[in-house]
Amino acid sequence: MGQDIYNTHFQRSDFDAFGRALELETALLAEWFAQGRFTDEREMAGFELEIWLVDHDCCPAPVNEQYIALAGDQPVVAELARFNIELNTSPQRLTGSLLSDLHRELGEYWGEGKRFAQQLDAELVMIGVLPTVEPSQLTLANMSPVKRYRALNEQILSLRGGAPLELDIEGEEHLQMRHGDVMLEAVATSFQIHRQIGAQQAVRFYNAAHILSAPMVAVSANSPYLFGHDLWDESRIPLFEQSVAVAGSNRGVCGGQGRVTFGSAYLNDSIHECFQRNRDCYPALLPVCLDEPSSLLPHLRLHNGTLWRWNRPLIGFDNAGVAHLRLEHRVVPAGPTIIDMVANAALFYGLLEVLARQAVAPEASLGFEQARGNFYRAAKQGLAAEVVWLGGKRVNVAELLRQLLPLARRGLRMLGMVPADINLYLGVIEGRLRTGQNGAAWQRAYIAKHGRDFFAMTRAYLERQECDQPVHEWGV
300: nearest Cα among 37, 30, 71: 30
Peptide bond into 336 cis (omega under 30): yes
> How far apart, in Å, are the Cα atoms of 459 and each of 52, 57, 210, 224, 475?
13, 8, 35, 16, 14
Q: Is residue 242 part of a domain?
A: yes
Here the CATH number for the domain that contains residue 247 is 3.30.590.20
For the chain, 476 residues long, the average pLDDT of each consecutive 10-residue run is: 62 96 97 85 90 97 98 95 97 97 97 97 98 98 94 92 95 97 97 94 96 98 98 98 75 68 94 95 93 95 96 91 93 98 98 97 97 98 98 96 98 98 98 98 98 98 95 98
CA distance linking residue 22 with residue 247, whole number of Å: 20
Eight-class DSSP state of 139: S
Q: Is residue 224 part of a domain?
A: yes
**DSSP codes, 154-197:** HHHHHHTTTPPEEEEEESSSEEEEEESSGGGGGG--BEEEEEEE
> How far apart, in Å, are the Cα atoms of 355 and each of 262, 292, 374?
19, 38, 17
Q: Is residue 1 part of a domain?
A: no
Range of the domain at 31: 12-471
Helix (H, G, I), strand (E, B) or coil at 340: helix
Q: Is residue 5 part of a domain?
A: no
pLDDT at 257: 77
In the chain, the amino acid numbered 121 is: D
> How far apart, in Å, are the Cα atoms of 405 and each of 159, 214, 215, 380, 419?
44, 15, 11, 22, 14
Q: Alpha-carbon dihedral of residues 412, 48, 189, 178, nearest 10 degrees? A: -120
Q: Which residues pair with 225 in a beta bridge?
A: 230
pLDDT at 256: 64
In total, the chain counts a number of residues equal to 476
Number of domains composing the chain: 1
Q: Is residue 342 part of a domain?
A: yes
Q: Is residue 6 part of a domain?
A: no
pLDDT at 254: 64
- Cβ distance 259 to 246 under 8 Å? yes
Q: How many CB atoms lie within 10 A of CB 13?
A: 10
In the chain, the amino acid numbered 442 is: W
